[in-house]
Every structure is written in C-alpha cells, then in structure tokens.
Structure 1
Amino acid sequence: MSDGAAEKSRTWWDWVLGGLLLVGGVVVIGHAVVATAVSVIFLGWLIFAAGLMVLVMSLFRIGKDGFWIGLLEGGLLAVLGFVFLRNPEAAALTLTLIAGALFLSTGIARLAAAVQVEEARGALIFSGAVSSLLGLLVIFNLVTATFTLLGILLGVQMLTEGLAVLISGRQALSTRRAGVGQPAVS
C-alpha cells in the first residue's frame, strides 16, 4: 500500500482518538498513583469475573474430561481476583515486582544476545542496559515504584498508542492486514 493510500484511509476519528489517547496518557502519567490503584482494582475484577466464568463453564463438563481442571482453574482465578480486590496494595506490590523482574531478565537476555549478534550489537547493548537499569531501579525502590510504576506504564502505553493512531490511523492498519496476500488493484 502506498503512502498516499494510507493517508486517504485515515479519518477524522483517527485524529480525535489519537488526540484523546495522547491527552489521556499525559493525564494518567500525571496521576500515576490513582491510575495504579484503578488498574489494580480493574484487573482484580477481571480476574475474579474470569474465575467465575470458568467455574460456571466447568459445571457444564461434569462427568467429562477437563471438569476437575476447569473447577480448579476457575477457583484459583476467583480467589486470586478476590485477593486483588481485598488487598490492592499487595497486588500492586506483586505486579511491580514482576515487572521489575521482567525488565531485569529481558535486559540481561539482550546483553547476552549482543555477544552473538554482530549486526544489532549496539542496539541490543543499549536496550539491554536500559532494561537492566530499569529493572534494578524498580527492584531496589520497590516501595516507591509500587504506587507509580503501573500507572506510568499505562500512561506511556496510551501515549504510544495515541501517536501510532495519529501517524498511521486505524483504517490504514486494518486495511493492510486485510489486504495481505491479495493482489494490488491499480
């Protein structure tokens, strides 16, 4: 698809959505503590609802394969969601620790990959160093990071999503996916 066709497929809704996502991202980063609390509670309700749905679905499998696994899975999910809702601070701490560990392990893996890949060595070293430092920063400042990290990550995601919609538009992305493998029409 040419650049002109991508430009034509962008609508004014893309500009509105992209702008709203950018503004929302700035607001979320500005209120990272509130965003963290809301996201943990929202995630708790999602996990709890998923657990209840799996429990109900497993009741339709009584006497068949997968009944006990579904019952166990649904029960564990429901309990995890309930724990998130009853202790949002502990849930935020746990999610922050997991995020810090993921940043650190990803950074170390990229630094190790930089030894083997000559073409992208500079990018891998830079990315690995930043990820490792970010992971160490989160892990060694866990209490401070607990109340802000998830909100900041959510805000950054909203900002990048808004920029992507402003630059490419929703229609352009969906048109490219739908047109894969089809001949171009002149």
Structure 2
Amino acid sequence: MTLPSEAPNTLGNAIGEARSKWGWFVALGVLLLIFGVIAFGNLVIATVASVYVVGTLMLVAGIVEIAHAFGVKDWSGFFWWLLSGLLYAIAGFLAFYNPLLASAVLTFLLAVSLVASGLLRLWVGLKNRQASGWGWIVAAGIVTALAGLIIALGWPINSLWVLGLFLAIDLIFQGWTFIAFGLALRR
C-alpha cells in the first residue's frame, strides 16, 4: 500500500521516466501524423478502414456474447444473450461483406447522433442561462447539431468520405498532440 508521503515520489518517478522516453512520444506523433495525411489523401479507403475496424469489434463482441450465452443458467437469459451476440456478429460480418453499405449506415447514425447531441446541449445550455458559461454550451450545441444536419443532408453520397475524414482529422490531432507532449517532456 502506498503511503501519502510516497505519492509525490511515485508521480515524480513517472514524470522522470516519461521524460526519458520523450523521443518515443514524438516518433509516435510523427507516425500518427503521417497516417492522418495518408487518410486525408484517400478518404474512401480511410472510410473502408474505419468500417473494417468497427466490423471487427462487432464480430469479436458477438462471438464473446455467444460464448457468454452458454454460461447463462436460465433459458430466457440464454436466448437474449445468444440473440444479442448473433446480431452483433451478423452486423460485423455485414461490415466486411459490404463496407459501402455499412459506411452509409454508420454515417447516418453519426448524423443522427450529432443532431441529437447538439439539441441536447442546446437545451441544457438554455435551461442553465443563470450559470456562467452557458453561452458556450449553447454555441457548442448549435455547431454540433449543424454538423449533424450537414452530414444528414449530404447522405448517402457523403458516406463514402465522412468517416474517413473524421479518422484523418483524429489521427492528425493525435499526432500533433503526441509531438507537442514529447517536446514538452524534453524541456
């Protein structure tokens, strides 16, 4: 058990160890940045790669749930776990079988989620007008809902590139973050 007096030493040791590895953070950042630029270069392939990742996760989750179903003792529990696992596994298989259809479905779900999330933020912000910073919540809600609407208005044609665009942007931001973190550790 760690004593409270030992906690700063543990934190100091962790920071010292991370500082000694600053180059690895920068290297990972550069690699992620390169992957992000490659993804930007071909958004359709990046979209298909995203679909394959989601499909793999769903297939694995489905297999795990099917295996779990056989560990459930009562019939109704077994049936629901088996059904859930089968649906996950089928959805994962379909992502591999027809990645373009899967990208259309995922893009539509993304659009719906963004609109719903944006409207919820807008509602929360307006409901809390007496709180400091409520305008930022409203602004974030408007931007998020508009992003969802723009995606929905371009659907299904934009489903060929939207997921790839999100992946490319995420990889680039992660890359810059790791580079900045590694360089900060170096100082």
* Length-normalised TM-score, structure 1: 0.77
Partner of 2:164: 151
Cα distance in 1 for partners of 2:141, 2:74 equals 50
Give the conservation status (yes or no) of the 8 Å contact 1:10–1:168.
Answer: no
1:154-165 to 2 correspondences below 5 Å: 154-165=167-178
1:40-79 to 2 correspondences below 5 Å: 40-61=51-72, 66-79=77-90
Which of 30, 41, 52 in structure 2 is aligned with 1:19? 30
Alignment RMSD: 2.5
How many residue pairs are counted as aligned between the two chains? 168
Structure 1 gaps of 5+ residues are 173-186
1:88 CA displacement:
1.8
Give the conservation status (yes or no) of the 8 Å contact 1:33–1:147.
Answer: yes
What are the superposed Cα offsets for residues 42-68 of structure 1, whole Å, 9 maximum, x if unpaired?
A: 322332233123223433446688433
Structure 2 gaps of 5+ residues are 1-10
Task: Give the stretch that moved more between structures: 121-130 or 101-110.
Answer: 121-130
* Length-normalised TM-score, structure 2: 0.77
What are the superposed Cα offsets for residues 135-163 of structure 1, whole Å, 9 maximum, x if unpaired?
A: 11000111232011111111111122222
Partner of 1:168: 181
Q: Secondary structure of the residue that 2:156 maps to in structure 1?
A: helix
Partner of 2:4: none
More helix by share: 2
Q: Secondary structure of the residue that 1:119 maps to in structure 2?
A: coil
1:44-123 to 2 correspondences below 5 Å: 44-61=55-72, 66-115=77-126, 116-117=128-129, 118-123=131-136
Cα distance in 2 for partners of 1:27, 1:136 equals 27
